[in-house]
Amino acid sequence: MGTPYIRGTARRVLTGLASLSLVTGAMVAAASQADAAPAPVSTKSHSVTNPYSPAYQHAYRHGVLPTRQQQAKMKSWQSTHPSPNVATGPETLSYGGGIDGIGVQSGHSKVYLVFYGNQWGTQSTDANGNAKFSGDSAGAAGAAQQMFKGIGTGNELWSADLTQWCDGPNVSAGATSCPSNAAFIPYQSGGVLSGVWYDNAAASPSAASGHQLGQEAVNAAAHFGNTTAASNRDAYYVVLSPHGTNPDSYQNQYCAWHDYNGDSTLTGGAVNSPYGDIAFSNQPYNIDSGAGCGVGFVNSPGTLDGWTMTLGHEWHEMMSDQNPAGGWTNQTGSSYNGQENSDECAWLNPGTAGGAANITMGTGTFAEQASWSNDTNNCAISHPIVGGSTGNTVTVTNPGSQTTTVNTAVSLKVSASDSASGQTLTYSATGLPAGLSINSSTGVISGTVTTVGNSTVNVTATDSTGASGSTSFGWTVSAAGGGGVTNGGFEAGSLSGWTAAGSATAAAGAAHTGSYGATVGSASPSNTSSVAQTFTAPSGTTKVSFSYDVTCPDSVTYDWATATLKDNTTGTTATVLGKTCTLGAGWKQATGSLTAGHSYTLTLTNTDDNYTGDATYTYYDDVTVS
């Protein structure tokens, strides 16, 4: 991965050097202004010429959307530094040649929302089936999910502006339009939201660096099972920081930016990815910035106006410049130099040409801004579908969570549909319980399950054009004979079946397999916490097993994880997991012996001495009897 990043960096260095004389000259000309521009802190190469831009001296802030106040300063400087005469016009975008062969997202976009840090609060579900959080009083999480579900629905043409952009071997670096044999961005019909992850394993940093945000995106790729370059080619990870945090020191400067993991100019450096290039964005809880980040810009009170506008701004720019700046950016040498399609149309007032407006989709109405269009030479809030086709959309119907008894025959039909008629679908699946397989032609999962446990199944349907869709669901295989552990994989998304004491919750970030696990203890100082369940060992079973992952920065003298198994029939108690204090050891498994027909109480415990600075907590998952 190292060499491509160097190549991409070199391209940005060249554009930066080309504009350096403009920057230094501009500083002299601007010195007499009452609100003088900040002086350059170094001669490091960069591609942004306007010294008031939040991307000035911060090359990694691709597509950065300045606050309205900062935008006004940028325009004031721009008015005294007219653009040179260029044949294509000062706002025309041109193709950067691609980085690692990537210029745009020329497939169906897969958007993953990553709610970063336990400050988001307790997770629940809203009326639309979206993740909802107690620390999100504005309802920003639900709006983000509804918006990305709605793109390409309800005949909206706001996103159709993207269909003019392209990449591929037939597009020359420097091109300002796409040849007919290019790989165009298709119209994103049917929505683009592909997954939601609440990473509440720890608190989000108070001011996360670019590197930390990129690392969180790589972690999300692993969480969603996107562990190859191919699976990340059309993926985009929106890292949403919680209320009260200041990721990359955004406050009073800007409202959001996007990038990819291989950008060496990220604060803290590029992020290693074993899964190919990872496109991501820094999406602060910019409602905290009020009108500066668009609160009330389109509607009244318009609390979420700027929130959806910045989400849309960065998604548009990622689609047209996935690995910056290998896609479509401004390279004219004008005051727009280094900007992307949405940058050039930021904060245009509603009611003006190309101004922000409410966009109605199949899932609701959302405030959005326009993006630059080369083919019409203006900012387009609505645009005909051009260039690429509308693209096929394959939709796989989620069959819901499955529960099966071991050694039982299974036959489950997974259905899918295609937006194009006459297509033949091919099915594949990962994560199936042992003994099961999927028929590639019919989508029927069949066989006899042979192993007790919990798994997450992902089914993909692909048509003859290469378009695909997928869905994921949990599958629990329980022991035969009745009884056994209830909700042993915590896939109910709650502690249903368990008795909790102290700080304990079912959480997505605690999963070993499936979507949920139990967090016992807290990333903040706490005392002894536990979850316990009483069950009867089914006929034919001899053991109970569970997985655990301890985060213990102290010593076993003060903090630890432990587990006990009490045989209620005989009145004896066994220690299944002795006092354990480890840090970074990863997931381990513990096993205790059972006698069929006996009643047992399994207690999973975390003990913390409530001392500031070394909080201990334990993840537990995959509790099974066999």
Contact 343, 324 (CB under 8 A): no
- Same-domain check for residues 146 and 95: yes
Single-letter residue type at 375? D
Q: Do residue 247 and residue 291 come from a single domain?
A: yes
* pLDDT for position 319: 98
CA 504 to chain centre: 26
In this predicted structure, the answer to whether residue 12 has a pLDDT above a threshold of 70 is no
From 348, 380, 412, give the residue that closes a domain: 380
pLDDT at 266 over 60: yes
- What is the predicted pLDDT for the residue at 299? 96
For residues 431 and 224, the model is more confident at: 224
Residue 386, in any domain of the structure? no
Task: Look up residue 348 and give its two tokens.
Answer: 């245009």
Q: Residue 17 pLDDT > 80, yes or no?
A: no
Q: Phi first, then psi: give them for residue 119, nearest 5 degrees.
A: -65, -15
Beta bridge partners of 240: 115, 283
- With a pLDDT cut of 90, the percent of the chain lying above it is 60
CA dist 580 → 54, 606, 607, 616 (Å): 47, 9, 10, 11
pLDDT tens-place string over residues 509-566: 888 887 889 999 998 989 999 999 999 888 878 999 999 999 999 999 999 999 999 9
End position of a domain, from candidates 449, 478, 507: 478
Identify the pLDDT of residue 39: 32
Classify residue 445: in a domain, yes or no.
yes
Q: Do 375 and 398 fall within a single domain?
A: no
pLDDT at 24 exceeding the cut of 80: no
Burial 288-318 (b: 16+ CB within 10 A, else e): bbeebbbbebbeeebbbbbbbbbbbbbbbbb
Q: Both 526 and 466 in a single domain?
A: no
Q: What pLDDT is recorded for position 604?
A: 97
Which helix (H) or strand (E) element contains residue 312?
A: helix 305-320
385-408 average pLDDT score = 75
Alpha carbons 602 and 600: distance in angstroms, whole number = 6
Q: What separation in angstroms does the CA of 426 have from each of 443, 467, 539?
A: 8, 11, 40
Kindly state the tokens that stand for 7.
């190549």
The reported pLDDT for the residue numbered 202 is 95
**Structure tokens that stand for 339 in this block:** 């900007």
DSSP letter for each residue of 328-372: EEE-SSSTTTT--TTGGGTTPPTTSTT--EEEEETTEEEEE--EE
Can you tell me the distance from the alpha carbon of 196 to that of 202, in angstroms, rounded to the nearest whole number? 17
How far apart are the C-alpha atoms of 132 and 138, rounded to whole Å? 11
313 and 436 in a single domain? The answer is: no
Same domain, 251 and 333: yes
Please indicate, yes or no, if residue 8 is contained in any of the structural domains: yes
Straight-line distance from the first to the last Cα atom of the chain, in angstroms, rounded to the nearest whole number? 44
Residue 576 lies in a domain: yes
> Bigger pLDDT: 393 or 31?
393
**Highest-pLDDT range among 14-23, 228-237, 384-393:** 228-237
Cα(237)–Cα(197) distance, integer angstroms? 10
CA distance readout (Å), 625 to 64, 230, 478, 544, 561: 52, 38, 8, 4, 21
Q: How many C-beta atoms surround the C-beta of residue 79 within 10 A?
A: 9
Which tops the pLDDT comparison, 511 or 59? 511
pLDDT band of residue 482 (cuts 50, 70, 90) is: low
Cα separation, 127 vs 139, whole angstroms: 12
Residue 37 has pLDDT above 70, yes or no: no
Q: What is the pLDDT of residue 445?
A: 95
Position 58 confidence tier, pLDDT thresholds 50, 70, 90 = confident
The 10s digit of each residue's pLDDT in 135-144 is: 999 999 999 9
Amino acid (one-letter) located at 384? P
- Assess whether pLDDT exceeds 70 at residue 6: no
User: Are 65 and 310 contacting, i.e. CB atoms less than 8 angstroms apart?
Assistant: yes
Q: How far apart are CA 405 and CA 592, in angstroms?
A: 21
Boundary-marking domain end, from 324, 347, 380: 380
Same domain, 154 and 89: yes
Provide the pLDDT confidence category of residue 3 given band limits of 50, 70 and 90.
very low
> What pLDDT score was predicted for residue 258?
97
Domain containing 83 equals 2-380
Q: SS3 of 398, please?
A: coil
In a domain, 487, yes or no: no
**Residue 252's pLDDT is what?**
87
- Identify the DSSP state of 583: B
With tokens 């230094």, the residue in question is 24
What single DSSP character describes residue 31? T
The helix (H) or strand (E) run that includes residue 15 is helix 2-30
Structural domain contains residue 492? no
> Average pLDDT of 315-333?
95
Q: pLDDT grade, residue 216 (50/70/90)? A: very high
Q: How far apart are CA 602 and CA 545, in angstroms?
A: 10
Query: Is the same domain home to 323 and 399?
Result: no
How high is the mean pLDDT of the chain? Answer: 85
CA–CA separation, 191 vs 195, rounded Å?
12
List all residues 6 or more positions away from 212 whose beta carbon is below 8 Å from its beta carbon: 205, 268
Q: Look at the block and give the residue holding tokens 């003006």.
A: 352
pLDDT digits (tens, 9 = 90+) for 199-208: 999 999 999 9
Q: Does one domain contain both 556 and 620?
A: yes
CB atoms within 10 A of CB 81: 16
427 and 537 in one domain?
Answer: no
Do 119 and 46 lie in a common domain?
Answer: yes
32 pLDDT band, cuts 50/70/90, is: very low
More confident of the two residues 12 and 344 = 344
Residue 587 and residue 446 in one domain: no
In the prediction, which pLDDT does 541 show? Answer: 85
The pLDDT assigned to 211 comes to 97
Strands 402-405 and 468-478: parallel
Is the residue at 387 inside a domain?
no
The pLDDT assigned to 88 comes to 59
- Over residues 87-113, the pLDDT tens digits come to 357 899 999 999 999 999 999 999 999
Higher local confidence (pLDDT), 120 or 84: 120
Summarised one tens digit per residue, pLDDT across range 417-444 is 887 767 789 999 888 998 999 999 999 9
| CA Rg value for the chain | 27
* Cβ-contact 121, 134 below 8 angstroms: yes
Domain total in the chain: 3
CA 514 to centroid of chain Cα atoms: 18
pTM, full prediction: 0.57
List the CATH number of the domain containing 559. Answer: 2.60.120.260
Strand 235-240 to 279-283 pairing: parallel
Strands (E), 107-216: 110-116, 123-125, 131-133, 166-167, 183-184, 193-199
Residue-level pLDDT at 47: 58
Q: Which two tokens stand for residue 531?
A: 């979850």
pLDDT the model gives residue 76 = 80
More confidently predicted of 382 and 70: 382
Structure-model confidence comparison of residues 43 and 471, the more confident one: 471
Token pair for 620: 């537990």
Q: In this predicted structure, what is the pLDDT of residue 391? A: 53
Which amino acid, residue 327?
A: G
Domain annotation covers residue 22: yes
